[in-house]
Structures are given as structure tokens and as C-alpha cells.
Amino acid sequence: MKKLTVNLLSLLVVTAGVMTSCTSNDSDTTNPSTSKFIANADDFKGTITEGEVVLDASKVYKLTGKIQVNNNATLTIPAGTVIQGTGGTASYIAVAQGGKINVNGTASKPVVMTSGKATKAGGDWGGLVICGKAPINRISGGASSAQSEVGDLTYGGTISNDNSGSIKYLRIEYAGALFNADKEFNGLSLFGVGSGTTISYVQLIHGSDDGVEFFGGTVNTDHIISIGNEDDQFDWTEGWSGTNTDWYGRLDYGTGNRGIEADNYEFGFANTPISNPTITNLTLIGPGSTANTTAFAENQAIKLRRGTKGIFTNVVIKGWATGFDLEHDETLANAGTSLKVVNFKIDSDVTTTMKGKTTAVAPATSGVSATVNANFATTSATATGAGNGVGMPSWAAGWATGF
């Protein structure tokens, strides 16, 4: 009997150990989400209202409608995750004020948001929209708020260091679905996003509108690639004032306007805070100086208008009819002081280095020529742009595409 008791005790100990081991292993593989929201990979849509939703990188998520991340909720996307949108304006990802998105890609395993269609094209899905609480200048003074032109979410406020999350190593492809003639998604739309947000190593490619557009805010960026988007590769307005390094933009040979289109505010050229970003290490490649102006409506490397400021340092441009185009009195007044280009190089094929235009005549037709301050731009034979002149930057290797 004693021997039997020992054996039974041993069996109980072993069984308990096995049960403990199984429980531990199961815990390691349990989805770490803390939200009640269920992320259905085959029908990915809905509103996340609380907690954190963590996606599973082993699944491909079919974005069939809008995913909205509300105040106090977080969407976390692990390295290597693929999200495919197919529903035009119905399928997009929107982060509301107070919500967060964490994109945790790596150089070897970027997160990819792309079209789910067999034949892919710009406008197959909406894109990524983030709305923060940082200042915008629709009303001069920077304390106003507004509704985003896509998603209809509130943005703007007085929290300059507002944090909407962290985005690293993300590729957004074939986005830019069209609502109407005046409203169209960009690949990445940043509405009043604050400096507490991280935007790093992001590519926007083959979208039907702008690659990335900043609507006010104070968000900073680094290592951004914008290729083949059908309007501007980079765009800003409404008083954006971020610090940025390493931007690479290229117009593909199809349609497009500019490398950069920059405004202060369309309906208040002097509204404060005035758009005033700094961009260090910039490469912009155009379609060629003689490219068909019907296909390439403007063919300008950088358009600066409506009172914007900005400092550009270490710039390389190639293949544009016009290098820099300054428009409106408020913009020209900044040239050479708070609006200037330090150390730029024309690689080849730029017909007009720079031109200026006052507001005496509607800019859509013709303008009155103005002299651009001689201190506006200084040249440098050794400028490297985004790191490798007009070539693919070394930091794009492994995660970016389309070069």
C-alpha cells in the first residue's frame, strides 16, 4: 500500500507539472489584445473603442470597410503584417483624436498596406488617416479645430506634443480613393498630428493623390519615400511646422504635378502659426523637363505659395521643368530669410531653376514676374540629397520598393 501511495503521489506531481507546462505555453501564444474588439482577418472593419487590438502577422487582413481607432483605444500592427484594401472610399484606417496606432515594422519585415485587387491601381482603397490635437491655422492663432476632409473626424487643438502613436517601417501602396472632385484620400493624411507621434521609415507608392499630406500640426518625420503618386509626392498646409530628415520623392512617368506643394493656408495667407517646416537631405526626381504638360500638369520640383516658410538643406533635384516656383506676396516676402534652400544641386535636366509670381493676377492663368531674393538658394556641387544623390538611398534597402 505504501508503494502504491508513492506512485500515486508521483503521478499527481507529474500531471500537475504537465498541466502547468501546458498553461504556460498557451499563455505565450495567446493574443495580447486587451480590447473587446474582434479583428476578423477576412472581414476587417469596425470601430475600436477601448483597449488595445494587436493584429496577427501570420494572417492577411482584408480591409472591407473602415477601421476607426477612437479615443483611449490603440491598434498595434506587428512586423510583417499585410493589410489589403479593396473597397475604394469604404476601406481605410482612421485614427481619431486620442486614439493611437503603433506600426512595428522592421527593415526585413515591413508592415504593408496595399490593394487586395488582382490588378492593382491607385485609388483601390482609401489610405491611412490620423487626427491629432496639435495646432492648425484655419483660424489665425492656432487654437482652432476642424473636420478632416476624409473621414469627417475632428482635428486640431493646442497640444503641440500630442501623441497619436508610432509608425516605423510601413509601406502604403495603391491608396488615394476619390470621394469627389474636391475630396480624395492621400496615402498618408496627417491632420493636426503632434510631435509626440513617431513617423519613421514610411513609403507611399502609386497612390491616386498625394503621397503624404500634412494639415497643420507639429509632427516630425524621417526617412520618407514617395514614388509615383499621381498628384504631389509631399504636400503641406494649415500651419505645419515639423522637423524632417531624409526625404526621397519621384514622379513616375504617367501623371503627376510636383515633388512638393507647400502652402500656409488657402484662405488666410498670413494666418498663424505659419507653415514652417525644416527638411534636411531631400531628393526630388521629375519626369524630365520636356515631359508632356498635359500628363504632368505642373512639372515643378517645389511649389511654395500662400505664405509658407521653410528651410531646405542638402537638396538634389533632377528632371523638372522648374526647380522652385514661389507664388504670392506673402511667400516672396519670406524668401532668403525664413524661406530658403541651403546647398542644392541640379543633377540634370532642369529648364528653369526658379521663378516668382506676385498675386496681381490669378495664379491659375498668368502672373506678374517678381524677383526672388538672391539669397533664397545656394548651390553645392557636393550635395547628396536623401543620401545617394538621385540613386536609391542606402537606408531604403530591404523594406522599400519601386526604385
* Per-domain residue ranges of the chain: 43-396
CA contacts within 13 A on the Cβ side of 210: 23
Query: Are the C-beta atoms of residues 187 and 130 closer than 8 Å to each other?
Result: no
Higher pLDDT, 295 or 4: 295
Residue 21 has pLDDT above 50, yes or no: no
d(CA 91, CA 125): 6
**Tens digits of residue pLDDT in 164-213:** 999 999 999 999 998 887 789 999 999 999 999 999 999 999 999 999 99
Residue 159 has pLDDT above 60, yes or no: yes
d(CA 68, CA 81): 18
pLDDT on residue 128: 98
* Sequence-ordered list of residues with C-beta below 8 angstroms from that of 210, at least 6 positions apart, any chain: 176, 186, 187, 229, 231, 232, 233, 234, 235, 261
pLDDT on residue 296: 66
Question: Residue 373 — pLDDT band, cuts 50, 70, 90?
Answer: confident
- Residue 332 has φ and ψ, to the nearest 5°, of -60, -30
d(CA 111, CA 120): 18
pLDDT on residue 101: 99
**Tens digits of residue pLDDT in 379-392:** 999 999 999 999 99
**Tens digits of residue pLDDT in 107-155:** 999 999 999 999 999 999 999 999 999 999 999 999 999 999 988 999 9
pLDDT on residue 336: 95
In angstroms, what CA-CA distances link 309 with 192, 224, 276? 18, 20, 5
* Sequence-ordered list of residues with C-beta below 8 angstroms from that of 232, at least 6 positions apart, any chain: 210, 211, 213, 256, 257, 258, 259, 260, 261
Residue 2 has pLDDT above 50, yes or no: no
Q: Which of 101, 65, 63 is nearest to 85 (CA)?
A: 63
**Tens digits of residue pLDDT in 336-364:** 999 999 999 999 999 999 999 887 644 44
pLDDT on residue 258: 95
Query: Are the C-beta atoms of residues 287 and 253 closer than 8 Å to each other?
Result: yes
Q: Which of 112, 131, 152 is nearest to 219 (CA)?
A: 131
The CA-based angle 369-372-375, given to 5 degrees, is 170
Q: Do strands 183-184 and 178-180 pair parallel, antiparallel, or not at all (unpaired)?
A: antiparallel
Query: Are the C-beta atoms of residues 301 and 284 closer than 8 Å to each other?
Result: yes
Chain-centroid distance of CA 29 in Å reads 33
pLDDT on residue 368: 62
pLDDT on residue 293: 62
pLDDT on residue 83: 98
- Which three-class secondary structure state does DSSP give residue 24? helix
What is the share, in percent, of the chain residues with pLDDT greater than 70? Answer: 88
**Tens digits of residue pLDDT in 89-104:** 999 999 999 999 999 9
Burial class (CB in 10 A: 0-12, 13-18, 19+), 49: middle
Which amino acid appears at position 106 of this protein? Answer: T
Long-range CB pairs of 115-118, under 8 A, 24+ apart, other chains included: 115/84, 115/85, 115/86, 115/173, 115/174, 116/62, 116/63, 116/84, 116/85, 116/86, 117/86
Which amino acid appears at position 205 of this protein? Answer: I
What is the share, in percent, of the chain residues with pLDDT greater than 90? Answer: 79
Residue 283 has pLDDT above 70, yes or no: yes
pLDDT on residue 360: 61
- Residue 72 has φ and ψ, to the nearest 5°, of 70, 15
Residue 251 has pLDDT above 60, yes or no: yes
d(CA 357, CA 332): 8
pLDDT on residue 183: 84
- Please, what is the average pLDDT of the chain? 90
